[in-house]
Amino acid sequence: MDANGGPPIPICNAVNGRGATWGTADVILFAPQIGSAIFRVPAAGGKPAAATAMPTTGESRRWPVFLPDGKHFIYLRTPLGSVDENNEIRLP
């Protein structure tokens, strides 16, 4: 939705979203579902492209966050069915 109001603008599908972050170059990073890669899409909408490799079976990549430079990002790698102490913060 435009900051000045108006109707929502579809960007892309995220079946079971697991976090998103908006960068300075009008790029949005997001995790569309459990077990997916982190994807990037223009803020104006379009076809998402992978920003990380697909995770191996049994892990999830989620909650991306842009770093202050607005270009680099980190995300949480979680082994599915694991306890929190096995989570990792990754920089691609």
Does residue 41 lie in a domain region?
Answer: yes
Q: How far apart are CA 9 and CA 28, in angstroms?
A: 14
- Domain of 83 in residue numbering reads as 20-90
| pLDDT recorded at residue 67 | 95
Q: Kindly report, residue by residue over 50-87, the tens digit of the pLDDT.
A: 999 887 778 889 999 999 998 899 999 888 776 677 88
Q: How far apart are CA 88 and CA 39, in angstroms?
A: 18
Q: Kindly report, residue by residue over 7-51, the tens digit of the pLDDT.
A: 888 888 888 888 899 998 899 999 998 888 999 999 988 999 999
DSSP letter assigned to residue 69: T
pTM of the model: 0.83
Does residue 79 lie in a domain region?
Answer: yes
Does residue 60 lie in a domain region?
Answer: yes
Does residue 73 lie in a domain region?
Answer: yes
Does residue 32 lie in a domain region?
Answer: yes
Q: Does 5 score more than 90 pLDDT?
A: no
How many separate domains does the chain show?
1
